[in-house]
Amino acid sequence: MARQRKGWLRRHGDGDGWRRPARLVPVWVALSGTFVTAVAVAAGALWLGLDLLDVHGVKREKQISSSVLFDLVKLSFAVVAGLGGLVALVVAYRKQRTEENAALRENTKLHSDRFTAAVAQLGDASPAVQLGGVHALAGLADDAPTRALRQTCIDVLCAYLRLPYDPDPGDAPEHLQARQRYRAIREVRHTIIRIIGNHLRPEATVSWDGHDFDFTDVAFDGGDLRNIHITSGTLTFTNAQFEGGTVDFTGARFRGGTVDFTGARFKGGTVDFESAGFLGGTVDFTNARLEGGTVAFGRVRLKDGMVDFGDALFRDGAVGFGSARFVGGAVNFRCVSLEDGTVDFRSASLEGGTVDFRDARFRDGKVDFGRVGFGDGRVDFRGVGFVGGRVDFTDAGFDGGTIDFTDAVGRRPEGLPDGMADHLS
């Protein structure tokens, strides 16, 4: 595994996205262009001034006085001085750009040397050395002279998490050495996640918000992402596996960007968004498979954006929106298949937005709207098949909003007031 880690990091540690210094045009081109531009600007200013003064011609003189001649001489010297100033300005600008490019080349070279050393540490067989590489790469990302170089450092940290990760071998005496190794590697992985979380919080000295984090196929057994603020960029958990521990998003704020759990598999543990605020962006669980564990949105506030479980499969586990407040935005459960498990909205407040279950199939499990306050917004059950399981609206308050059961078939949900969905059995 260590050999595989070294090989991967060597291949991906080549510094994609390094910015080259801008090339300067030849000096004669720069001077000519500056001179032509200056003449054009002067001519334009003269023409505009004459036009504003309503001057239609120039009075010709066969002789001029000595004072006028002296003024012309002064004007000539002024023109020469102006041209000299332009030349000095161009030369000074080119000198500054040359110095900036030299500094960028030097910083890039220094960054490259530090990057190579940090990647070598991360690829070491010893978890202690790997931890040093993690912190070195994080510091290098903070000091990166360009955004692309910072993204490269982030990519390498995320790539480490995508490497094969052996599960906990258990605490049997014969597995003592393997368990110690597992715990050491787990510490390295959780340190990476913690460092990423620290850089996505508003108090971070250097923010990594707006960058992309690729956790595709990563096996998670926990991680601290509490109170992060996302305004742009992407956190990609596509096809990730959650089998234990808690990936903690409590108190997070989403104003843009995307958190993508497309195709993720939940077999245990918890992904916790409790008390998070959604003011924009998307959290996407499309085609996710819940075969255990919990995805918790308790007490969240959804003002805008989207939480999307479209086409997800529920075989076990739970998705909870208990005591959540929906002011706007949307929660999408279109075409989900509920074979077991729970979707829980108890005590939520629906003041706006949409909860969409269109064309979903309920074969078992439970969807609980008990004590939900429907003040506004919309819950859409059009085309739903209530084949089995239980959908419960007990003690819900129907003071407003819309609950649409058009073309739904099967068993009538519990707790609905008379006159609502009476066509269901």
186-243, pLDDT tens digit by residue? 999 999 999 999 999 999 999 999 999 999 999 999 999 999 999 999 999 999 999 8
Q: How does 56-75 read in b/e, with b if 16+ C-beta sit within 10 Å?
A: eeeeeeeeeeeeeeeeeeee
Query: Helices in 144-279 by DSSP H: which ranges?
Result: 147-162, 176-199
C-alpha 307/C-alpha 328 separation (Å) is 11
Give me the residues paired with residue 235 across strands. Answer: 213, 259
pLDDT of 14 over the 50 cut: no
| Closest to 158 (Cα-Cα) out of 228, 226, 216 | 216
Q: Which amino acid is at 130?
A: Q
DSSP character at residue 223: E
pLDDT tens-digit profile of 132-182? Answer: 999 999 999 999 988 999 999 999 999 999 999 988 888 888 889 999 999
Helix%, strand%, coil% for the chain, nearest 5 = 35, 25, 40
Sign of CA pseudo-dihedral 368, 373, 374, 378: negative
3-class DSSP assignment, residue 256: strand
Bridge partners of residue 278, in order along the sequence: 254, 302
Nearest to 344 by CA among 369, 309, 311: 369
Q: Which residue has the higher pLDDT, 412 or 400?
A: 412
Q: Where are the domains of the chain?
A: 1-56+66-164
pLDDT higher than 50, residue 348: yes
Q: Provide the β-strand partners of residue 266.
A: 242, 290
- Helices 66-122 and 2-12 sit at what angle, rounded to 10 degrees? 170
260 vs 20: which has the higher pLDDT:
260
Write down the pTM of the prediction.
Answer: 0.78
Q: Looking at residue 76, what is its pLDDT?
A: 65
Q: SS3 for 320?
A: strand
CA-closest candidate to residue 384, choices 368, 360, 365: 360
The set of residues, in sequence order, having a beta carbon less than 8 Å from that of 258 and lying 6+ positions away, is 233, 234, 235, 236, 281, 282, 283, 284
What pLDDT was estimated at residue 106?
73
Confidence (pLDDT) at 45: 59
User: Whole-angstrom Cα distance, residue 293 to residue 186?
Assistant: 20
- 348 within 8 A of 322, measured Cβ to Cβ: yes
pLDDT in tens, 358-410: 999 999 999 999 999 998 889 999 999 998 889 999 999 998 889 999 999 99
Using the Cα atoms of residue 82, residue 85, residue 87 and residue 93 in order, give the sign of their dihedral: negative
Does pLDDT of 11 surpass 60? no
Per-residue buried b or exposed e for 141-160, using 16+ beta carbons within 10 Å of the residue's own CB: beebbeeebbbbbbbbbbbb
- CA-based nearest residue to 320, from 353, 289, 286, 366: 366
Q: What is the spatial distance between Cα 359 and Cα 363, in angstroms, rounded to a whole number?
A: 13
- Tens of pLDDT, residue by residue over 288-304, are 999 988 999 999 999 99
**340 C-beta neighbours (distance < 10 Å), count:** 16
Q: Which residues, in sequence order, are CB contacts of 298 under 8 Å at separation 6+?
A: 274, 275, 320, 321, 322, 323, 324
Q: What does the pLDDT read at residue 91?
A: 72
Residue 280 DSSP SS3: strand
What is the CB neighbour count within 10 angstroms for residue 366? Answer: 16
pLDDT at 336 over 70: yes
In this prediction, residue 4 has a pLDDT band, given cuts at 50, 70 and 90, of very low
From CA 119, how far away is CA 411, in angstroms rounded? Answer: 59
Residue 390 C-alpha from the chain's centroid: 37
Say which residue the tokens 């390094």 belong to: 18
Per residue in 16-55, pLDDT tens? 444 445 555 565 565 566 667 666 766 665 556 555 656 5
**Cα 155 to the center of its chain, rounded Å:** 13
In the predicted model, what is the mean pLDDT of the chain? 85
